[in-house]
Structure 1
Amino acid sequence: MARRFPNAIFLKIDVNQCPTTSASQGVTAAPTFIFFRNKTKLDSLQGADPEGLEARIRQHYGDGEGEEVEDSGVPGHIDLMPMINKAGCECLNESDDHPFTQALSSSGGYMESDTDEQLILYLSFSQAVKLHSMRIKGPSENGPKTLKLFINQPHTIDFDTAESANPVQELTLAPKDLDGELIPLKFVKLQNVMNLTIFFKDNQTGEETTQVSYLQIIGSPVQTTKMSDFKRVTGKKGESH
């Protein structure tokens, strides 16, 4: 596994030597695999299932096709891209040549609307998350301007509903915001999010189509663990064993 995922760190903990740690992590069976990113607990898996383990690693590591997880740049929060369940996502009025998936990484490509300037992007997460902020990159002419955010919708809303419904937050972006600047979200209202709907209402200059070259959602899973909860068994801080 370590050879196939060189950017992942694999650690083995003896539950007999570290009973406090295993108890704090809810380990009740062996083997148990726990996944962390930036000191935040993302997921866990019990049982000796090599195929299931590899699938779970790929879920949090990336898709193995050159997709890289970006640094969030926000202490205590992560890029939530690995927690987006792409199979459960949908984008209305996206161009066939430029679907939403091209905007979920900074490796090139872009999302573009099709028949007019509006887009509705429905993002499903693999577990409940807290949303802190986002970054958007796009052209100064037809990059997005007005965004309406909705959460925990039972299904993808249509354009009439998106126009008339009250969002949890509405954003008006300036051209400078489309350079990847951090865009704060209403964190207190976004604490238990299973899905996020973004309605791209218009663009900066009224162009026929809207383009988004990169979209980063920043936050953290609701279930988290502080690394300080791990207790040392022997030795002093800084020593290796």
Structure 2
Amino acid sequence: MSLVREINDDAHFFTELQSSGTKLVVVDFTASWCGPCRKIKPVFEQLSTKYSKAVFLKVDVDKCAETAAREGVSAMPTFFFYRNRTKLGQCQGADPTALETNIVRFYDSGEVDDASEGSVAGHMDLTPFIMKAQCECLNESDEHCLAHCLTPDGGYLQSDCDEQLIISITFTQAVKVHSLKIKAPADKGPKTMKLFINQPRTIDFDMALSNTSIQDLELSVSDIEEGNPVQLKYVKFQNVQNLQLFVKDNQTDSDTTQIDHLCIIGSPISTTNMGDFKRVTGKKGESH
């Protein structure tokens, strides 16, 4: 049974995006006269039942011309992927493999269930907005690097020469950062941290020790064992291009610091806003 929702007009599209919250939204921009669209329609419907936690929308570009124009749809079918009203990616053409690959790519990454323990209502996991190629970590172990802790099941990050770490996270777009979730062992998890934002380059350890941070954190054992959200001074993290975390020490002053999972919770600044919709297809009442 298909779980695809058909969009009737431009306002309906915006309402569906807004009500979907942090769920992945997969949108099929289609047209009744498009042969490839008809070909991939049953595949799209099948995927809607296979990935039932996502929201699947079908948008007829003739009925929703303003939405199609605003989103830059130039060929059908085009599939867009959204979360929290923010576009994560897109693919074009009636290619079932490419479509499902993109769904899998975004399906679990970034979702924060508002009903789950430790969730942060109204915000999302910002992992999809991390530009991993431009992230780095000073004093990371060769075997256990930063990339290992940016996903829940990717392994862990471990320090090398001593207990200190400098983690530099770059985002693909400006974000607001609400809180951090850091899961780590009780004995090796970070304790004292200094946070810096929008630095022109990765700071070194001397700078991290001497420079004034935007916020200091003192993590408890329960914070890191349970991976609970640690709220930041939200007003200071309203336009973050990069975030740097200096781990000064760990819970037991051991030589090695370990982080199993680092999750940054917040919201992208650029979102789809109904106020941005403008008529681009002529005056009201004219045919398209």
| Cα offset, 1:97, TM superposition | 1.2
* Residue number in structure 2 paired with 1:110: 156
> What is the identity percentage for the equivalent residue pairs of Structure 1 and Structure 2?
48
1:42-87 deviation per Cα after TM superposition (whole angstroms, max 9, x unaligned): 346697798xx87x9479617xxxx854526222211111111111
* Residue number in structure 2 paired with 1:202: 249
Bigger Rg, structure 1 or 2: 2
| Cα offset, 1:211, TM superposition | 0.7
* Residue number in structure 2 paired with 1:121: 167
1:158 aligns with 2:207: no
| Cα offset, 1:110, TM superposition | 1.2
Question: Which residue identity lines up with residue 71 of structure 1 in the other structure?
Answer: V
- Say which SS state the counterpart of residue 246 (structure 2) adopts: strand
Q: Where in structure 2 are there 5+ consecutive unaligned residues?
A: 1-42, 114-118, 278-288
8 Å contact from structure 2 (residues 196, 215) kept in 1: yes
Match of 1:42 among 76, 87, 102: 87
Q: Where in structure 1 are there 5+ consecutive unaligned residues?
A: 231-241
Alignment size in residue pairs: 221
| Cα offset, 1:130, TM superposition | 0.9
Match of 1:216 among 263, 266, 276: 263
The 1-side partners of 2:223 and 2:274 are apart by: 34
| Cα offset, 1:218, TM superposition | 0.6
8 Å contact from structure 2 (residues 196, 214) kept in 1: yes
| Cα offset, 1:157, TM superposition | 0.8
Match of 2:146 among 85, 89, 100: 100
8 Å contact from structure 1 (residues 94, 100) kept in 2: yes
Higher mean C-alpha displacement, 68-77 vs 168-177: 68-77
The 2-side partners of 1:108 and 1:83 are apart by: 18
The 1-side partners of 2:147 and 2:73 are apart by: 37
Higher relative contact order (CA 8 A, sep 6+): 1
Match of 1:189 among 236, 248, 254: 236
1:30 aligns with 2:77: no
Q: TM-score, normalised by structure 1?
A: 0.78
8 Å contact from structure 2 (residues 109, 127) kept in 1: no
1:140-187 deviation per Cα after TM superposition (whole angstroms, max 9, x unaligned): 112100111111111111100111111111101111111211100121
Q: TM-score, normalised by structure 2?
A: 0.66
* Residue number in structure 1 paired with 2:33: none
Structure with bigger helix share is 2
* Residue number in structure 2 paired with 1:71: 112
Question: Which residue identity lines up with residue 137 of structure 2 in the other structure?
Answer: C
Match of 1:139 among 166, 185, 194: 185
- Say which SS state the counterpart of residue 128 (structure 1) adopts: strand
- Say which SS state the counterpart of residue 107 (structure 1) adopts: coil
